[in-house]
Amino acid sequence: MKNKKSIYILLPLVLVVWATILYKIFSNFNDNDEPGLPNYHLQSKSKKKIFVKDTFELLLNYPDPFLKKAPKTTSSSQSYNNIKKRLIGKHKINWPNIKYHGRIKNSVTKAEKINIRINQKMYLMKPYEKKADVKLLKIYNDSIIITYKNEIKTITKN
């Protein structure tokens, strides 16, 4: 008896819920507009919206919270003059004629050497080795990084 009473109560409730769901779904599809065309509302030309550009400026003159010191204020002209003096003070270094011909790797010890030509002389060099004032810093498959008179340069394989 208990089950029949619950069926009589719950069945109409379920039907009402499904009816409202189906009504809401089908009511969106039954517009009187032309099918497939978006619904645009045209406004008259007299109602134009005017947008005003919002401008602002950041105030970045607060102290650094990590250093707990006041920021140093340097004018851009001072830093420009310092950089200009440093660049003018440096002289250009004449690099020797350097050509990288290849790399040799020992399969047992995994040691690498390169075959390099410096001023028409052939050398075998290991990393951090210095020959003819040229020091080898790093070896790659297609290039090497060398230094000559405290200037660093990358040479590619020929």
With CA atoms as reference, report the closest residue to 113 among 121, 123, 122, 124: 124
Whole-number pLDDT of residue 80? 57
Give just the sign of the alpha carbon dihedral 74, 80, 83, 89: negative
- The Cα–Cα gap between 11 and 5 comes to 10
Record the pTM.
0.43
Whole-number pLDDT of residue 99? 92
Where exactly are the structural domains of the chain?
Answer: 98-156
| CATH 2.30.30, applies to 98-156 | yes
Whole-number pLDDT of residue 53? 79
Question: Which stretches of the chain drop beneath a pLDDT of 70?
Answer: 1, 30-48, 68-91
